[in-house]
A and B are shown apart, each in its own frame.
Chain A
Amino acid sequence: MNSTRILATASVVILGLSVLTFARLASPPQAVLEESISGTITATRTITQNARVTSDVTCTVNAAPCIQFGAPGLTLNLGGFTITGQGDPSTGCQGARVGNATVTFNEDGIAAINQSDETIQGPGLVQRFRGDGIMLVGSTRSLVTHVTASTNCQSGIFLNGSSDNRIEANVSVRNGTVELPCGGI
C-alpha cells in the first residue's frame, strides 16, 4: 500500500517537472497583431489583420466603403467609438440620393464583400453614411454584435447574398431613404 502511494506521488512529481520543462522550452506567446484605426479616413481603409478603433473616426470617402475587410477571419473592434460618414445629421441622406454627384453608389461605413468569418464587435456607433452603415455582401459565417447603426441613408445593417451570419444585439435606428427599399436591418 505504502509503496503504491510512493510510486503514484513520484509519477505526479515527474509529470509536473516535465510540464514545467516543456513550458520553459516552448516559444513565448506571441502578441496578437492588431492595427488601430482613428482620426480621419479619406480613402477606403482595408484591414488585413485584426483591428481596433481607438478614437472617433470621421470618413470622407466617396462612393466606396470607409472600412473594408481584406481577408477572412478578422475582428474589427469598434472600441466604443463612433464612425461618422458624410450624411445629413438628421436624415443620413442629403437630398434624395444622396450627395453623390454621379448617383452610382454611395459610401458604406463598414463592408465585408465576399469574405467569411469576420466579426464586427461593438459597442460602437456607425452613423451618417450615405450608403449602408454596415454591409455584408456575399459573406458567410460573420458576426455583427452590439453595434448601433443610426441615421444612415440606406440600411443600418444590410446583408445581400450572404449566409450563416449572426446579427446579434445590435440597435438600428433612423435609417432609410425614399429611393430604395431599406431600413433598420
Chain B
Amino acid sequence: MLRNQTSGNGYVRTVVSNFGIGLVSGIDNVIEENVVTGNVTGIRIQPASTGNVLRGNIIAGNPPILVSNNVADNAPSGFDIQNLSAAGANTFENNTCITAMNAPCGRLKPEADVLPVVNAVGFNTPRAPRGGSVTVTFSGNNLTTTTYFDVRFRAPGASADDVAFNWQQGPSASHAVPAGTAIGDWTITGVRAHADANDHTGPFASVQATFSVFVSPF
C-alpha cells in the first residue's frame, strides 16, 4: 500500500472504531509513504495482523479535534497509530505521527520551529540615490536562503499600501534603485515570509522600516 491518502474516514464505535487504514487480519503487507489525517483512528492494527511493515507514513490529526473534544468514548481508539498486535509482530520504521499506542512515533516539529516568520527588517543604508542600490535584510525565525518574502510597502506620497510578491529570496539581498524610482520615503509596513513561491496566503508580519531615495548631484 503505497502513497495513498486517507482522510476524514470513520465513525466512533464502542468496540472497534473506524480508521484511515486498518489491518484487521492483514499479513505481510507493506504500508509505505501514505498520508493519513483526520480519521477517527489513523492506522489501526488488530491483534491478528502480523508481518506487516509500516514505513515512512505521515499520520497526524487522528482523530480530528471535534471528535476528540466531543466524543468521550473515543478515548480508547483516538490515536494516529493504534497497534493492538503483539510486540514485535509488525515493523514500524520512520513513521511521522503524534500519538501512538505500542508503536514508535517520529516527532513532528511544532509550528514555531517550522514556519518562517519575520520580526525585523533593516537597510544597509537609510538612503540611496537613484541608480544606486540598497541591501535589505530580514531577520526572524526559520528564514533560509530559499525563503521568499512578500513585501507590503507605502510609496512616497501614496495614501495606501501596495504589495510586491516574492520581492526577495533569502534573508539578505541587494536591490537596485532604478533611475525612474520616485524620490522620497519608501516605507515597508509588513513582510510575509513563505517557503512556496506561489503561496501568498499567510498574514503579513507587522514590521516597519523606511528608506529614502534621492537624486544625487553627482
Question: Residues of B contacting A172 with CB < 8 Å?
Answer: 4-7, 9, 20
Question: Residues of A contacting B20 with CB < 8 Å?
Answer: 172, 183-185
Q: Determine whether the beta carbon of B22 is less than 8 Å from that of A181.
A: yes
Q: How far is the CA of A140 from the CA of B35 in the complex (A)?
A: 24
Q: How far is the CA of A178 from the CA of B22 in the complex (A)?
A: 15
Task: Return A150 CB to nearest CB of chain B, in Å.
Answer: 9
| Number of A-B contacts defined by CB within 8 Å | 94
Q: Does A171 contact B (CB under 8 A)?
A: yes
Chain A: CB-nearest residue to B14: A178
Question: Residues of A contacting B9 with CB < 8 Å?
Answer: 156, 172-176, 183-184
Q: Determine whether the beta carbon of B22 is less than 8 Å from that of A168.
A: no
Given contacts A173-B8, A174-B8, A176-B18, contact A181 B13 (CB under 8 A): yes
Per the CB 8 Å criterion, the residue count for chain A at the interface is: 23
Q: How far is the CA of A184 from the CA of B9 in the complex (A)?
A: 6
Question: Residues of A contacting B40 with CB < 8 Å?
Answer: 176, 183
Task: Return A165 CB to nearest CB of chain B, in Å.
Answer: 9
Q: How far is the CA of A172 from the CA of B39 in the complex (A)?
A: 11
Q: Does A169 contact B (CB under 8 A)?
A: yes
Q: Determine whether the beta carbon of A156 is less than 8 Å from that of B6.
A: yes
Specify which of B2, B7, B15, B22 is in contact with A182 (CB 8 Å cutoff): B22
Q: How far is the CA of A185 from the CA of B15 in the complex (A)?
A: 19
Q: Residues on B close to A: CB < 8 A?
A: 1-13, 15-22, 24, 26-28, 36, 39-41, 44
9 shortest interchain CB distances as A-B pairs: A184-B6, A181-B16, A176-B18, A176-B10, A183-B19, A183-B9, A184-B9, A183-B18, A184-B20
